[in-house]
A and B are shown apart, each in its own frame.
Chain A
């Protein structure tokens, strides 16, 4: 499942963009967004999704049910 960022809670700090091993996160129209085509929940890179690990606001980087497959699937 790809991750998404809950925009209303995002502080815009960009730590997730810095940590993402897939370069799936970018700053677009005043907020950070995850490209579901590139996000694979960090599988093969790290044990846990880096965006959620580093995000300062709880429950802001979360799995996105709209993109259950994620990655290249």
Chain B
């Protein structure tokens, strides 16, 4: 059997001695406190909806939906690089039956698996029969899994009752514009009512259908996340208006994601030279949206066949052990894992609260820190193995995650260490400190030459604890320098 997503033992260094029987409620949590209890119960184990869940629970996408009913200028599904991570890209296509078997096989090997989603590579609702059959099979075999769905919304309205009936509690709609003039720059065409529509007509129909779907989902108490792709020069100024609009319509979460664009992707935007936003531009738009719908800042823009913890994907060909019809399914490992997570999460919350107390007395400006973590909310990754850096901000109010920045140029296998270093330096212009479990001498020199401060800690502390300590030390250092 393959190793779990992250070696569980490496995570089990709780300060509290975790006993599986100690499975109680979570401790106090800022994320939990901000939500009504019935909503928190729905999102707490979903890595995309609850920021605190993504360190512990894995998701998998099954690629049963190859066909799409719209064309987006940022999408080209023709080319697939196994090292690429962007929506719409997938290495294999599955029948509903094969997809359900794969889910069971992965659940067997990965007790962290909590969510099964269908997100393409085309539109998950367009060819609804395939998606519906897949969900029904998964529901029958592993009823405890959370089901979720991602769609452009054009064909969704007719299937909202089905979605509610299947118990799909989380739906993502991609809404990039609420102004048809802007939408027309993003969608060259849509296919609706047996014909192709272009220009503002297409954008107008798409928007009307998306809004109707959003309202129908909200009316059925389904949590809706709205994804918007930030396209510099097209909708960057427009997204705060989108945010206010979807919030007013009842969206639970708004996820502003950066355009991924390069000529070699063969997308219209890539070929036209429309670039993706810098990490700083993305953060600025996310901040400008701050007052509206809740913002998701930990999105990893998964492939349509992604498996694993966010930010720590399994190889795309991972399929667990081959399924046999009569193989017994051991639910105990999954139960044990969930109980352990309950305890670990409470412990982590306590550590975060302690960290917040520790920073309260420090009168220093906010400090950003880039952290290497592979899960569990701990500093536990070697810099050289990091494909992304988690960015936290520390000030008197405590430690907050404000995002993550990729340093693999979206294509790990095609670039070497130097490219990773260049990418890291480029995305950290506004972040002065890198915190990791270990770092090699060559990258350390390169990062230090770029003016970054490197801090190593191989004891796997909680991110909050380590960040608060750095904040206090940083201030002490400043005082020593000025005093």
Question: A: which residues have CB within 8 A of B?
Answer: 11-15, 18-19, 46-48, 50, 53-54, 56-57
CA distance A19 to B127 in the complex (A): 10
Name the CB-closest residue of B to A46. Answer: B194
Q: Nearest-CB distance from A45 to chain B (Å)?
A: 8
Q: Nearest-CB distance from A40 to chain B (Å)?
A: 15
Contacts A12-B66, A57-B78 given; does A18 touch B196 at CB 8 Å: no
CA distance A15 to B191 in the complex (A): 10
Q: Nearest-CB distance from A57 to chain B (Å)?
A: 7
CA distance A46 to B194 in the complex (A): 7
Contact B78 A11, beta carbon cutoff 8 Å: yes
Type the 1/0 row for B67-96, where 1 means its CB is closer than 8 Å to any CB of A: 111010000011000000000000001000
Q: Which of A19, A48, A54, A57 has the most CB of B within 10 A?
A: A54
Q: Does B122 contact A (CB under 8 A)?
A: yes
Type the 1/0 row for B96-134, where 1 means its CB is closer than 8 Å to any CB of A: 000000000000000000000000011000110000000
Contact A13 B68, beta carbon cutoff 8 Å: yes
Contacts A18-B127, A56-B77, A57-B78 given; does A13 touch B66 at CB 8 Å: yes
Contact B195 A14, beta carbon cutoff 8 Å: no
The contact sample of 14 A-B pairs, CB cut-off 8 A, is A11-B66, A12-B66, A12-B93, A13-B66, A13-B67, A13-B77, A14-B67, A15-B69, A15-B126, A15-B127, A18-B67, A48-B196, A54-B67, A54-B191
7 closest A-B pairs by CB: A15-B67, A13-B66, A13-B67, A54-B191, A53-B196, A11-B78, A14-B67
Contacts of A54 in B (CB 8 A): 67, 69, 191, 196
Contacts of B66 in A (CB 8 A): 11-14
Q: Nearest-CB distance from A7 to chain B (Å)?
A: 13
CA distance A61 to B69 in the complex (A): 16
Name the CB-closest residue of A to B78. Answer: A11
Contacts of A14 in B (CB 8 A): 66-67, 127
Name the CB-closest residue of B to A14. Answer: B67
Instruction: Add 10 more A-B contacts to A15-B68, A54-B191 (CB < 8 A).
Output: A11-B77, A11-B78, A12-B93, A13-B66, A13-B122, A14-B66, A18-B67, A46-B194, A47-B195, A53-B191
Contacts of B71 in A (CB 8 A): 56
Contacts A12-B66, A15-B67, A15-B69 given; does A50 touch B78 at CB 8 Å: no
Contacts of B78 in A (CB 8 A): 11, 57
Name the CB-closest residue of B to A27. Answer: B93
Q: Nearest-CB distance from B201 to chain A (Å)?
A: 15
Name the CB-closest residue of B to A42. Answer: B194
CA distance A46 to B127 in the complex (A): 19
Contacts of B67 in A (CB 8 A): 13-15, 18, 54
Q: Nearest-CB distance from B410 to chain A (Å)?
A: 20
Contact B122 A15, beta carbon cutoff 8 Å: yes
CA distance A8 to B127 in the complex (A): 24
Name the CB-closest residue of B to A57. Answer: B78
Contacts of B195 in A (CB 8 A): 46-48, 53
CA distance A54 to B190 in the complex (A): 8
Contacts of B77 in A (CB 8 A): 11, 13, 56
CA distance A14 to B67 in the complex (A): 6
Type the 1/0 row for B171-195, where 1 means its CB is closer than 8 Å to any CB of A: 0000000000000000000010011
CA distance A67 to B69 in the complex (A): 28
Q: Nearest-CB distance from A44 to chain B (Å)?
A: 13
CA distance A31 to B310 in the complex (A): 33
Contacts of A15 in B (CB 8 A): 67-69, 122, 126-127, 191
CA distance A50 to B78 in the complex (A): 20
Contacts of A47 in B (CB 8 A): 195
Q: Nearest-CB distance from A11 to chain B (Å)?
A: 5
Contacts of B121 in A (CB 8 A): 13
CA distance A45 to B126 in the complex (A): 20
Contacts of B68 in A (CB 8 A): 13, 15, 56
CA distance A50 to B196 in the complex (A): 9
Name the CB-closest residue of B to A52. Answer: B196
Contacts of B191 in A (CB 8 A): 15, 19, 53-54
CA distance A54 to B71 in the complex (A): 9
CA distance A13 to B123 in the complex (A): 10
Name the CB-closest residue of A to B122. Answer: A13
CA distance A48 to B194 in the complex (A): 9
Contacts of A50 in B (CB 8 A): 194
CA distance A14 to B195 in the complex (A): 17
Contacts of A18 in B (CB 8 A): 67, 126-127
Q: Nearest-CB distance from A23 to chain B (Å)?
A: 14
